[in-house]
Amino acid sequence: QKEVEQNSGPLSVPEGAIASLNCTYSDRGSQSFFWYRQYSGKSPELIMFIYSNGDKEDGRFTAQLNKASQYVSLLIRDSQPSDSATYLCAASGKLQFGAGTQVVVTP
Amino acid sequence: KAGVTQTPRYLIKTRGQQVTLSCSPISGHRSVSWYQQTPGQGLQFLFEYFSETQRNKGNFPGRFSGRQFSNSRSEMNVSTLELGDSALYLCASSLGRGRTDTQYFGPGTRLTVL
């Protein structure tokens, strides 16, 4: 079992809709969680991190953390074609990345 | 502030050769981590260096090694290259402390082994 699990997708989202990405982790010692976006052929870029239970909002992005259930999610509101990318979830400690969820925003 | 830089950006080698990749972190960052990314395996952690010491290591064979210099620049070496070593090698730097320690990635080195 991988330490960080994500659905690989692709997740197809109409333009303007909300994209919802989920991530589960197995190491209860992980304290911080990160969401990265990776465009094809490019390196990952940080979207946001979260370490407290609850929601954290940054522009059109909202990260949600539930440590009791060991899951992290990312919501992308008003999805745009430029949001089409692979989204990677990572857990702190020996930083472990999920395999990534491919998001495709259709006009 | 300049970002993470990696050299070279592209490399073609043949089986059995060795290769050295270089990473210069963001100024002030003391931690450098290396990752291998392939379509089938995703992003796999190789190792992390902090203040010239290897702090964490992933599950890769001993052919993969690294080091960090006093200026925090890091090199990764792969000896006796195999076809399966073809991948994008990413370096990421961070301050190296605290639970909000955030890694910033370089553009990567694309290694092709023929």
Per-residue pLDDT reduced to its tens digit, A61-97? 999 999 999 999 999 999 999 999 999 999 886 678 8
- CB-CB contact of B52 with B68 (8 Å): yes
pLDDT greater than 70 at residue A101: yes
How far apart are the two ends of chain B, measured CA to CA in Å?
37
Q: Residues B7-66: pLDDT tens digits?
A: 999 999 999 999 999 999 999 999 999 999 998 788 899 999 999 999 889 999 999 999
Residue B80 buriedness (CB in 10 A; 0-12 / 13-18 / 19+) = exposed
Structure tokens belonging to residue B35: 């990752």
Give the three-class secondary structure for B84: helix
Residues from chain A that touch B104, judged by Cβ atoms under 8 A, are 46
Q: Which of A31, A32, A88 sits opposite B43 (nearest CB)?
A: A88
Q: Which residue of B has its CA nearest to A95?
A: B45
Please report the residues numbered 3 through 62 in chain B whose beta carbons come closer than 8 angstroms to any beta carbon of chain A: 33, 35, 42-43, 45, 48, 56, 58
Residues from chain A that touch B101, judged by Cβ atoms under 8 A, are 32, 92
Mean pLDDT of the region B55-82: 96
Q: Does residue B66 sit at the A interface (CB-CB below 8 Å)?
A: no
Q: Can you list the positions of beta strands (E) in chain B? A: 5-7, 10-13, 19-24, 31-38, 42-50, 53-57, 64-68, 74-78, 87-94, 104-105, 109-113
Residue B4's pLDDT band (boundaries 50, 70, 90)? very high
User: In this structure, is the dihedral angle defined by the CA atoms of residues B45, B108, B48 and A29, taken in order, positive or negative?
Assistant: negative
